[in-house]
Amino acid sequence: MNIKQKWLNLIGTKEYFSLERRIFHGVCLITSLVLLISFPANFFLGLLIFGYVLLVALILLLILFYFSRYKKQSRATFAIFAVCISFVLVIGYLFNCGIDGPIILIFAITFVIYASIVKKEQLLFWMLFQLAIAYTLLYLEYSYPDMIYVHYEKPSFRYLDTALTLGILLLTIFLTIRYLKTNYRQQQELSIKKNEELQKANATKDKLFAIISHDLRSPFNALIGLSQILKEQQNELGEIEKEKFVTAIYDTSTKTYNLLQNLLEWSLSQTNEIHFSPEEINLNALIKQAIAMPLEVASSKEVTINLNVFENYDIIADKNMIETVVRNLVSNAIKFTSSADTISISSYINHKGTTLVVSDNGVGMSAATLKTLFDDGTTQNNDEHIAERGTGIGLLLCRDFIAQHDGLIWAESIQGEGSSFYVFLKNSSI
């Protein structure tokens, strides 16, 4: 565990503590470090009373930190913290040369510490609180100069004390400001991340609405129209015509079901509801199961699917995700392949991993379409098969699922000659 992680564990996580409480814990630790340096230094300079006061303040501060951090009793801890620090400043002022000593400088940095902890509404109160203590001490020293005790054993100790106090002040300012800047940057990064997630969620919602309003409505209109013709003209239609209508209804229903399934899986993947669960699975058996439904569509279209995959070869992958990828790639190949043509599914294995290839000799794609095939917001757009145009959700789903395997997916195509889609899975996908 590195130092940064240890520090985060000390001040508490954002799941259990507010930003103000985490800053308070950090300031407690920084102040404790300062007191740990200060009290032995005051003993060395002969300021025994002030040294003992600092030691007691250190112990009290650590107790406050413990109750706030580990007992989660935070309501009164800051008030006690403020009283403790104020008491130390008063004693330090009285026993350390008053206005001629270094303690008066600490009042300003104390307010900086308070300001980093308290809420905005309380800033004015704590500023006035600090000023009241400082002005009262200055007035009392002016009116009763004998109340100030000077206990330097040597004149040089006064310079050492001032130098030490200045160093401690700068160290405190440095640590406090650095800590505040770190927290500010973390909060800023968190805010940016939340905005990005919100924009992504809005984009997902807009895409879902667009698909539902257009791509789902069209096949349902077709189903209603075809079934209405069968209902109203069933006695007038011949067996061949009825078979054509039934086949059309089946094809449209299958495509609509696949679209709905892709929409569901894609929406779940966008909200991180699908968990990556790799396991050892037989590649040949997985592909056969994945193409069971597309195979029926291919048969109705008289498209042949040739499977050339090793039968006794296992891969490490998420079974459901890879099934979805294979099903989508094969369904797309069927969609853009003419009747009586052939689709091939093959695999290649080397020391790096497994490459799965789904190839067809259909209409192919242009270079412009190929370039943006896996980009968000793009859709398949083929003039030759405009009636069978897809939403692009399936390919986006393939891209996201393969990314979770730390794999690669890409396509090669020549317009008018066909397309090949490649999926590469590393041997160490788990």
Q: What is the pLDDT of residue 152?
A: 64
Mean pLDDT of 76-96: 80
Q: What is the pLDDT of residue 381?
A: 43
Please write the tens of the pLDDT for every residue from 339-352. 888 999 999 998 88
The single residue listed with the structure tokens 């009283």 is 83
Q: Other CB atoms closer than 10 Å to residue 393's CB: what's the count?
A: 20
Q: What is the pLDDT of residue 106?
A: 77
Whether the predicted pLDDT of 139 surpasses 50: yes
Q: What is the pLDDT of residue 392?
A: 67
Percent of the chain with pLDDT over 70: 87
Mean pLDDT of 94-115: 77
Whether the predicted pLDDT of 402 surpasses 50: yes
Q: What is the pLDDT of residue 386?
A: 34
Q: What is the pLDDT of residue 286?
A: 92
Please write the tens of the pLDDT for every residue from 183-219. 778 778 888 888 887 887 777 677 666 656 655 666 7
Q: What is the pLDDT of residue 344?
A: 95
DSSP letter at 213 equals: I
Rounded to the nearest integer, the mean pLDDT of the chain is 80
Indicate the pLDDT class of residue 293, thresholds 50, 70 and 90.
confident
Indicate the pLDDT class of residue 412, thresholds 50, 70 and 90.
very high
The single residue listed with the structure tokens 């032995």 is 40
CA 338 from centroid of its chain's CA atoms: 44
Q: What is the pLDDT of residue 211?
A: 58
Taking the C-alpha atoms of residue 336 and residue 363, their distance in angstroms, rounded to an integer, is 6
Whether the predicted pLDDT of 63 surpasses 90: no
How long is the chain? Answer: 430
Whether the predicted pLDDT of 89 surpasses 80: yes
Q: What is the pLDDT of residue 175?
A: 76
Indicate the pLDDT class of residue 326, thresholds 50, 70 and 90.
very high
Taking the C-alpha atoms of residue 410 and residue 412, their distance in angstroms, rounded to an integer, is 7
Rounded (10°) angle between helices 155-210 and 239-270 = 170
- Tell which residue, 140, 30, 170, has the closest CA to residue 162: 170
Mean pLDDT of 360-380: 78
Mean pLDDT of 138-144: 90
- Contact call for residues 360 and 333 (beta carbons, < 8 A): yes
In degrees, rounded to 5, the angle at the alpha carbon of residue 116 between the alpha carbons of residues 111 and 122 is 70
Q: What is the pLDDT of residue 407?
A: 94
CB-count exposure of residue 120 (10 Å: 0-12, 13-18, 19+): exposed
Which has the minimum average pLDDT: 13-22, 72-81, 153-162, 241-250?
72-81
CB-count exposure of residue 106 (10 Å: 0-12, 13-18, 19+): buried
